[in-house]
């Protein structure tokens, strides 16, 4: 009996994607775990794999197709011993018919089989040690929703639990709400602005998925999140001297610290010491995080992405530097995993390399704050009641005023300033 392969959901919020590249062709034999295609989401390009074995009977969505809805049937797989041509024919005139939507079940005789991204989630087991049969995608979604798979009956092959079995399933009780589980207000709709070229020569540039997402999320942030901005001027002389000394000591380890690496560390430490700012607003409750995961803005072709340095407060600056270089490189290649750019407890955006003296960044919802870093420059500065020339930068914190009071934001900015001006304190 033939099976259908559907457009997978590669993240909890994914609704559509671009089928960037097929890694198989019609007639190829595939086994469980084989890579089928590359899917481009709004932030990254990811591979997904087959769950069962068979022969690719028909590819229904050509590579390069944009805006493919999650759940759309993209290929037909014939089982072992089944004639591939007959399997493709039995699926109906798929080439002429519109792709099915995500919710309706596929027409028989085909049965739905999920394609999923590789996952590190372990296969769950019940109390007697029996392994629960579940697709990788079902396990990942169950973990995200807090669903106990041992309480579900699978409708897939040999009783395997698939994505459809999780629909309507109750979440298991948890001690604290996870950030991804927090209900959010619906995203505001943006009324299209009528184009007016006034006869000026121009070209029409189609927005890619990333740019659409940036437009939607930042509009949501400015409309729904009351921002408060706090700015401090910070002397960099001691930080620059320490960076130079550390780089000399790290010369044999192929590590070269940047100022940004040290600022990531400083913000992580400051958030732990001022936990009132390491929070997320969630309607009638608030999440206060015990770890500082710093999302760092990285400019890539077509937009901006924020890979996350997890636990920046507890990591050494050499580890932060190595991790940040790897994340930035993979971000520019579109190879980040969703968990590497979704989440974070606060953000840091540095535009100093462009000579920007000061700016106010828009909060990346649902986070509670973002730190905007300006360029370090030589300025007249009062040191010990005497006017001197010092290396100074301006840093501006944007805070969600629903969750963070101005006084708490000021404490964070003051501590951040102290840590940068006396950097040995954050390395202790």
Active centre residues (catalytic): 401
Cis before 366 (ω within 30): yes
Q: Give yes or no for a contact between 48 and 61, defined as CB atoms under 8 angstroms apart.
A: no
201-235: burial string, b at 16+ Cβ within 10 Å, e else: eeeeeeebbbeebbeeeeebbeebbebeebebebb
- E strands, 374-423, are 377-383, 386-400
DSSP lists the bridge partners of residue 383 as: 386
Calpha distance 78→86 (Å, rounded): 9
8-state DSSP, 125: B
CB contact set of 412 (below 8 Å; sequence gap of 6+): 270, 271, 274, 277, 369, 397
Cis before 109 (ω within 30): yes
Measured CA distances, 75 to 17, 19, 50, 95, 321 (Å): 15, 12, 11, 11, 42
Tokens of 251: 């010369």
Residue at token pair 């930035």: 328
8-state DSSP, 13: T
8-state DSSP, 79: P
Calpha distance 11→141 (Å, rounded): 9
Calpha distance 22→70 (Å, rounded): 17
* 260 SS3 class: helix
């Amino acid at each position: 009996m033939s099976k259908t392969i559907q457009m997978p959901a590669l993240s909890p919020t994914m609704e559509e994607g671009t089928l960037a590249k097929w890694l198989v062709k019609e007639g190829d034999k595939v086994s469980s775990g084989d890579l089928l295609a590359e899917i481009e989401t709004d932030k990254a390009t990811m591979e997904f794999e087959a769950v069962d074995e068979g022969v690719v009977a028909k590819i229904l969505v050509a590579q390069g197709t944009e805006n493919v809805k999650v759940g759309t049937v993209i290929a037909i797989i014939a089982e072992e011993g089944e004639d591939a041509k007959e399997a493709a024919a039995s699926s109906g005139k798929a080439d002429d018919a519109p792709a099915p939507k995500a919710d309706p079940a596929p027409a028989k005789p085909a049965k739905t089989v999920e394609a999923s991204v590789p996952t590190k989630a372990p296969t769950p087991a019940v109390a007697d040690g029996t392994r629960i049969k579940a697709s990788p995608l079902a396990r990942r979604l169950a973990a995200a929703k807090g669903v106990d798979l041992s309480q579900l009956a699978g409708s897939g092959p040999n009783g395997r639990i698939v994505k459809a079995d999780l629909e309507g399933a109750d979440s298991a009780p948890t001690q604290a709400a996870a950030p991804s589980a927090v209900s959010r207000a619906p995203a505001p709709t943006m009324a299209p602005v009528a184009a007016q070229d006034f006869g000026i020569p121009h070209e029409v540039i189609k927005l890619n998925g990333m740019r659409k997402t940036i437009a939607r999320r930042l509009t949501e942030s400015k409309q729904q999140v009351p921002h408060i901005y706090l700015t401090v001027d910070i002397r960099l002389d001691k930080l620059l001297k320490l960076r130079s000394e550390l780089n000399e000591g790290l010369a044999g380890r192929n590590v070269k610290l940047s100022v940004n690496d040290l600022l990531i560390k400083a913000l992580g430490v400051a958030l732990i010491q001022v936990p009132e700012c390491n929070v997320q607003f969630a309607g009638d409750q608030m999440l206060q995080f015990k770890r500082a995961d710093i999302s760092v803005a990285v400019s890539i072709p077509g937009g901006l992405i924020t890979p996350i340095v997890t636990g920046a407060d507890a990591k050494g600056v050499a580890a932060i530097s190595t991790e940040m270089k790897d994340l930035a490189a993979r971000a520019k290649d579109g190879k980040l995993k969703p968990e590497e750019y979704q989440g974070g407890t606060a953000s840091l955006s540095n535009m100093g390399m462009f000579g920007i003296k000061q700016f106010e960044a828009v909060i990346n919802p649902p986070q509670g704050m973002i730190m905007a870093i300006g360029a370090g420059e030589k300025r007249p500065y009062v040191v010990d009641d005497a006017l001197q020339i010092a290396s100074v930068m301006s840093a501006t914190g944007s805070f969600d005023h629903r969750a963070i009071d101005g006084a708490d934001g000021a404490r964070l900015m003051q501590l951040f300033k102290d840590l940068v001006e006396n950097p040995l304190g954050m390395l202790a």
